[in-house]
Structure 1
């Protein structure tokens, strides 16, 4: 059963023939600034089991890593580092067609976690955006 995903506009799709090696939530500042989100989910796949269709663009976000995004809509998709994660393609788990299928098993870079992120479960929760029901 393949695992599939796509960018926001659908111009880039990906398919993995095996389950991810791990799924982690990253709190580092680099991920936060790149995504614009307080935490980013990453599903790590062996590169050789992933097929990507569509045009991505990338940039070297650090001396050891490249981040790729959809050339059309800008959705963040992939993280590659031959130095830090040889043979691994990290894929933003929010781009999975079924993100519930592989729950995260760890949080990483928690030394960079925003203080208020520790208390998110205590915030009021609404089924939809307040006033938009």
Structure 2
């Protein structure tokens, strides 16, 4: 039986069960998708109970304002669920910031002096 050596060091009896931890690696696309679906489903799971609660509150108190308030709170839930679920993972401190806050002066026209032709001079 031969032992092989890889990135995580020499192969031992328990190395197959304990893979090397890569701390710099980002979350896989599949894991990010699963997390987004879980967020979306969690937020949207409040929609149907809110509508049922509105119907129950109307039948108990016969006050349409309470029922409409509950329905009104549930209206933006799909919009909020989509925005929150499609948000990117938070930035880490090691990520490069593309905008460093400095204003770069860029001129659209050349900076050198140009000869002006004045038609009024003869």
Q: Normalising by structure 1, report the TM-score.
A: 0.18
Q: Which has the larger radius of gyration?
A: 2
- Which one has a larger percent strand, Structure 1 or Structure 2? 1
Q: Normalising by structure 2, report the TM-score.
A: 0.19
